[in-house]
Amino acid sequence: MSFQQAVKVPNDRIGVIIGKDGRIKNEIETKCNVLIRIDSESGSVIISPRDPSQIEQAFKAVEIISAISRGFSPERSYRLLGEDVLQVVDLNEYVGRSQNQITRLKGRLIGERGKSRKTIEDLTNTAISIYGHTVAIIGNFEDIKLASDAILHLVRGRSHKMVYNLLQEKRRRDKIDRLYLWEESNLQHNNSTVNSPNSIQSRE
């Protein structure tokens, strides 16, 4: 039996997945070597690989379509073609289904003119979309963990300043760690060069 995966897409995002004259749908099919069938009435998008041996590419297409359905632009969703992955945080799990609470939380997470979301993106090297009752994050596993922790801090009422400070401190520590590893790697390389049998040292 051939692989097929269905993704339920909100009605207002179906048009984004199709694109003008079908451009986005065709792009995803080409980039991931898949076939995409869209039922506009039910909002179901069915993905299947052209080559049954390329299941991994089909999963990439599933992630891209899931990201677009969660509010990302196609261009930002294409980050998933590389090593990045998608994680979705459901705000209903933290505040129930109260629309007023969801709206309040979304306001905190987005910030004035999108400042809060943009700051978290910049400090964690992720892409974030806040849509409906979900927060979707694209990035590598470590960066997603950092961004989701920041989001949950805000959801639980921590101040923006405290969250930004935590992210900046983590980025500072990571920079120091990378510098230390670089220096240690260089030291090991220099030592191996000096001790190499092929190295010739002479003194005048």
When the candidates are 3.30.1370.10, 2.30.30.230, 3.40.50.450, 3.20.20.70, the CATH number that belongs to 83-187 is 3.30.1370.10
Say if residues 110 and 60 touch (Cβ distance below 8 Å).
no
Q: What pLDDT shows up at residue 202?
A: 44
Question: Which helix (DSSP H) or strand (DSSP E) does residue 87 occupy?
Answer: strand 85-90
Average pLDDT per 10 consecutive residues for the chain, totaling 204 residues: 85 95 97 94 93 90 97 97 96 88 94 95 96 96 95 94 93 75 65 58 46
Tokens of 125: 């090297």
Cα 80 to Cα 144: distance, rounded to the nearest angstrom: 13
Q: What pLDDT shows up at residue 131?
A: 96
Q: What pLDDT shows up at residue 13?
A: 96
Phi, psi of 178 (to 5 degrees): -65, -40
CATH 3.30.1370.10 domain span(s) along the chain: 1-82, 83-187
Half-sphere exposure of 139 (CA within 13 A, CB side): 21
Sign of CA dihedral 160, 93, 10, 44: positive
Q: What pLDDT shows up at residue 174?
A: 77
Q: What pLDDT shows up at residue 183?
A: 64
Q: What pLDDT shows up at residue 195?
A: 60
Half-sphere exposure of 136 (CA within 13 A, CB side): 21
When the candidates are 3.40.50.10540, 3.60.60.10, 1.10.3720.10, 3.30.1370.10, the CATH number that belongs to 1-82 is 3.30.1370.10
Angle between helices 141-155 and 115-124 (to 10 degrees): 150
Q: What pLDDT shows up at residue 188?
A: 66
Q: What pLDDT shows up at residue 193?
A: 59
Angle between helices 11-18 and 55-69 (to 10 degrees): 130
